[in-house]
Amino acid sequence: MSATILDGKKIGEEIRLAVAAEVQGLLSSGYRAPKLVAVLVGENPASEVYVRSKTKTAAALGVDSATLRLPSTISTADLLEEIRQLDADEGVDGILVQLPLPSGIDTDRVLEEVDVAKDVDGFHPVNVGRLALGQPCLTPCTPAGIIEILVRSGVQIAGARACVIGRSRTVGRPVAALLLNRHATVTVCHSKTHEISSVTREADILVAAMGRAGFVKGEMIRAGATVIDVGINEVRDGRELERFYEGEELERKRGVIEQTGRTLVGDVEWRSALCVAGKITPVPGGVGPLTIAMLMRNVVDAYRRRCRV
């Protein structure tokens, strides 16, 4: 038996198309386009790539966007002032502060300065709190994407046992809250969990989000469970791949390394998980494509709530 592979690319595309249609509808009713501003501090190459990818997707969906580039030497106080200007700008609907910020900047303080109504990453404590309380809020994008994958793949959440491995602020904790709000029985595991296999094997829905390549092996998965792999780990050595893949998939991944010098693997050991899980997301092409799609969803939601359209 081999698991059904959940196609995040396809689901992400569906959401992007729906958002694009919604923006088109707003424009043809005479409204302005929603606008996202990405705040990019310093010159982290990965952050550059992420921000470019977000503004590119925005453009494709008819969402206006701009990138505010600030030097890595900026003080927390000056960065706060920049955020306040974006907060005050009526034409800006979503503000995204690309993380990580340079060391020396008080990240928590900066995230708290973003207008709660424009906080499209869902990182402001008020949005985090509303999420924890089960109230309407702007929801972090990756966790929201995980819920979309589950719902659109027909996975029953209410009454299911869900296990989240990892308790990060951006993924583990918020996805646990979302699953709980949708009536799953939710367990959060982490580095201090004893006998983790016995915990993960209880789960109908297993979310791997601790950032350790291939940590979740087949024997840690309940037969037929849905496995959501949030890990994004880089592999540059083709020989390392044998831990994760076999057969055709191994050859394909090796080919990717040969062509591009690197490939991505998840927190789940694909090879052994595939024979046990009922449904599983691949890396890449699973949760990843949902994150930007849900960001766009949040920008349009923030716009509609702010402008009441």
Contact call for residue 155 and its own copies (CB under 8 A): no
Which of 161, 201, 217, 254 touches its own copies by CB under 8 A?
161
Give CA separation, 172 vs 178, 258, 288, in Å: 10, 33, 15
> Is 98 known to be catalytic?
yes
Q: Which is nearer to its own copies, 160 or 290 (CB)?
A: 160
**How many residues sit close enough to its own copies to count as binding (CB under 8 A)?**
34
Decide: 293 and 19 in contact? Cβ < 8 Å.
yes
- Using DSSP's 3-state secondary structure scheme, residue 60 falls into helix
Q: Which is nearer to its own copies, 146 or 160 (CB)?
A: 160
CA distance 42 to 126: 27
- Which residue do the tokens 């849900």 mark? 294
Which residue, 221, 220, 124, 216, is CA-closest to 174?
A: 124
Q: Which is nearer to its own copies, 185 or 233 (CB)?
A: 185
CA distance 55 to 74: 23
CB of 143 vs its own copies, minimal distance in Å = 12
Which amino acid appears at position 1 of this protein? M
Q: Which stretch binds its own copies (CB under 8 A): 83-91, 165-173, 207-215, 220-228?
A: 165-173
CB of 188 vs its own copies, minimal distance in Å = 5
CA 49 to chain centre: 15
Q: Which is nearer to its own copies, 152 or 167 (CB)?
A: 167
The contact mask relative to its own copies for 175-194 (x = CB under 8 A, - = no) is: --x--x--xxxxxxxx-xxx
Instruction: Dig out the tokens for 239 from the structure.
Output: 């020989």
Residues of this chain, 98-137, that bind its own copies according to CB under 8 A: 108, 124-135
Q: Which is nearer to its own copies, 33 or 144 (CB)?
A: 144
Crossing angle for the helix pair 141-152 and 288-307, to the nearest 10 degrees:
110
- Residue 30 DSSP code: T
CA distance 175 to 228: 11
Q: Which is nearer to its own copies, 55 or 226 (CB)?
A: 226
> Is 118 known to be catalytic?
no
Contact call for residue 141 and its own copies (CB under 8 A): no
- Choosing from 98, 118, 204, 279, the catalytic residue is 98
Contact call for residue 169 and its own copies (CB under 8 A): yes
CB of 302 vs its own copies, minimal distance in Å = 17
CA distance 116 to 94: 10
Report the sign of the C-alpha dihedral through residues 169, 151, 160, 288, in that order.
negative
Catalytic residue set: 54, 98, 121
Q: Which residues bind its own copies (CB under 8 A)?
A: 108, 124-135, 158-159, 161, 167, 169, 173, 177, 180, 183-190, 192-194, 199, 202
